[in-house]
Amino acid sequence: MSAQGLLGFATAVLCGGIAAPLIFPRWPVWARALWRVATLALLTLLVQRIFGSPLQPELRAEGPWERAWQQAVEAGWWVAAARSLAGVARLLLSLQNRSRETQILSDLVGAAIYIATALAVVDVVFAVPVGGLIATSGVIAVVIGLALQSTLSDLFSGIAIDIERPYRAGDVLSVEGGVEGRVREVNWRSTLIATGNGDVAVVPNSVMAKSRLVNHSLPAPLRRTAIEVRLDPRILPDRCRAALDAAVVACRLPLADPPPTVAQTALRGDGAVYEIAFSVPSADVLGSARTEMLAQVQRHLLHAAIPLAVDGLAEVPSLPVPTAADLLARSDLFGILAEPERDLLAGAMSVLHLAPGEALFAQGDEAQALFVLASGTVGILRRNADGTEFTYRLSPGMALGAISLITEAPYAVAATALTPVKAFRLDRAAITVAITGRPSLTEGLEELARRGQAAISADLAAARDHRDEQPDLFLFRMRGFLQKLAAGLGPPPTR
């Protein structure tokens, strides 16, 4: 084949090598790299036949147009070599499963390859000395570097982050200075972090490289945190720890493994400091878990009559231990009764103490009494017919079993003490005595019945069919219950 025929064939190969990826844009990275390498291999054979070595070509042209054609083919070989090398580099990086947002190093390597190729084309193909050009470009680079010092600092910090990879998109970070959230993107200049407030913090890479970082997603997304409470130093530690332990057990969001811990970390004249440390499965539920923990701590300390300490104050006002009447007044179920009626019921209550693991009642037991929790935590378990289970945890101040007692339905759940528990018990006989001593109590209980649906929904021991009853049906059952107590009749009437 003549020299011009080889030039035409080489030109066709060049055009095909460039056009094919444009025609088929959905080619995977490995297919693009393979096509570029194959194009380079074929083009190398043709250039060797035409010019000898492509690194030291001998351009033998009879006219200016032919010489320009030869130079274009030789320059095309250099471009094909650069594209092949850049494609292989990108393929190797993709095999390492690196995210698209953090391919700064890949982009810089590709840029360096193409710059070097451009200088080689100027020197080898067009025989223009590049020494002066490089010297001039060095001076220009110094000027540009001084003008873009901040930008270049972010750029090279991004390169360092990409090489070390202390975090990646999707990780939860705490950055020195108060920025905390999930990494959305890592680009040339900055790291984008979605905070818990719904904002996106744009942190320059130079700041990220200099700051202390805590990656909460490594080695696992499990997150451990702690809250501190400062209590009255006059209260014995055993009593404080018992209340805090019960509050921890009452929470559902913290993980049981690793277990939460309660420790006294400091003792000062104006307060004893206790730290509650616990873990959550991920940072997404951290805020909800802290809210639940603080709410339970507040509830348990209030019912245990343990006041919080005050800065600079050695003694704080003491809190009274809630009585049965106080618990009834705070109860959603009995709070609607008048104070004399609540006091009457409270006087008929008996105190019950349970050790951890001791049952308050079992699922299916006949309802003989209602209970108001004074301290500790009670676990609620219901086993359904389909084998599923429903669990809940009761805290001080909550009532249990009232609706089952009124409707004479068996307890629909099992109640077991998870910590040492103190509860007040009010059985049917005690209610009978209370009504006998104060007949007006029936009016208050009927008022409770008028709000029956809310009361049923709040009582976890009520069976499902009773929790779905309409208020008027519950009112009918309540009246039958009161008639039975007053007259000693049989079961409540049915409708």
pTM, whole model, 2 decimals? Answer: 0.60
Answer yes or no: is pLDDT of 253 > 50.
Answer: yes
β-partners of residue 185 are: 192
At residue 263, the pLDDT reads: 94
Taking each continuous run of H as one helix and of E as one strand, the counts in the chain are 17, 16
β-partners of residue 215 are: 173
The string over 202-235, giving b where at least 16 C-beta atoms fall within 10 Å of a residue's C-beta and e elsewhere, is ebbbbbbbeeeeeebbeeeeebebeeebbbbbeb
Answer yes or no: is pLDDT of 168 > 60.
Answer: yes
Higher pLDDT, 450 or 228: 228
Answer yes or no: is pLDDT of 136 > 50.
Answer: yes
- Please report, rounded to a whole number, the percentage of residues in the chain having pLDDT higher than 70: 77
427: which residues sit within 8 A by CB, 6+ positions away? 350, 368, 369, 370
Cβ atoms of residues 105 and 89 within 8 Å:
no
> For 3-25, what is the mean pLDDT?
77
Lowest mean pLDDT among 87-91, 192-196, 434-438, 454-458: 454-458
Cis, peptide link before residue 322, omega less than 30° from 0: no
CATH 2.60.120.10 domain residues, the chain: 324-487
SS3 323: coil
At residue 490, the pLDDT reads: 40
Q: How many CA atoms lie within 13 A of 33 on its CB side?
A: 14
The CATH number assigned to the domain with range 161-215 reads: 2.30.30.60
At residue 329, the pLDDT reads: 86
DSSP assignment of 63-130? SHHHHHHHHHHHHHHHHHHHHHHHHHHHHHHHHTT--GGG-HHHHHHHHHHHHHHHHHIIIIIS----
SS3 458: helix
At residue 262, the pLDDT reads: 95
Lowest mean pLDDT among 61-70, 129-138, 155-164, 320-329: 129-138
Tokens 């909550």 correspond to 398
The count of other CB atoms within 10 Å of the CB of residue 18 is: 15
Closest CA to 488 of 447, 440, 436: 436
At residue 307, the pLDDT reads: 93
Answer yes or no: is pLDDT of 383 > 60.
Answer: yes
Q: Does domain 324-487 have CATH number 3.40.190.150?
A: no
Answer yes or no: is pLDDT of 487 > 60.
Answer: no
Q: Does domain 223-303 have CATH number 3.40.47.10?
A: no
Higher pLDDT, 428 or 299: 299
In whole angstroms, what is the distance from residue 311 CA to residue 163 CA? Answer: 48
At residue 495, the pLDDT reads: 42
pLDDT band of 453, cuts 50, 70, 90:
very low
> For 100-119, what is the mean pLDDT?
71
At residue 449, the pLDDT reads: 53
> For 370-384, what is the mean pLDDT?
89
> For 191-220, what is the mean pLDDT?
87
Answer yes or no: is pLDDT of 456 > 50.
Answer: no
Q: Which helix (H) or strand (E) holds 391?
A: strand 389-394
Higher pLDDT, 295 or 152: 295
| CA angle (371, 372, 373) in 5-degree steps | 115
| CA angle (399, 403, 405) in 5-degree steps | 100
Closest CA to 117 of 54, 49, 168, 70: 54
Cβ atoms of residues 129 and 123 within 8 Å:
yes
Please classify residue 250 by burial: count the beta carbons closer than 10 Å to its beta carbon, then call 0-12 exposed, 13-18 middle and 19+ buried. Answer: buried
In whole angstroms, what is the distance from residue 189 CA to residue 159 CA? Answer: 10
At residue 138, the pLDDT reads: 67
At residue 468, the pLDDT reads: 47
Higher pLDDT, 256 or 60: 256
Cβ atoms of residues 415 and 459 within 8 Å:
no
At residue 469, the pLDDT reads: 46
CATH 3.30.70.100 domain residues, the chain: 223-303
pLDDT band of 52, cuts 50, 70, 90:
confident
The string over 135-148, giving b where at least 16 C-beta atoms fall within 10 Å of a residue's C-beta and e elsewhere, is eeeeeeeeeeeeee
CATH 2.30.30.60 domain residues, the chain: 161-215
Closest CA to 327 of 425, 223, 399, 224: 399
At residue 299, the pLDDT reads: 94
In whole angstroms, what is the distance from residue 467 CA to residue 349 CA? Answer: 25
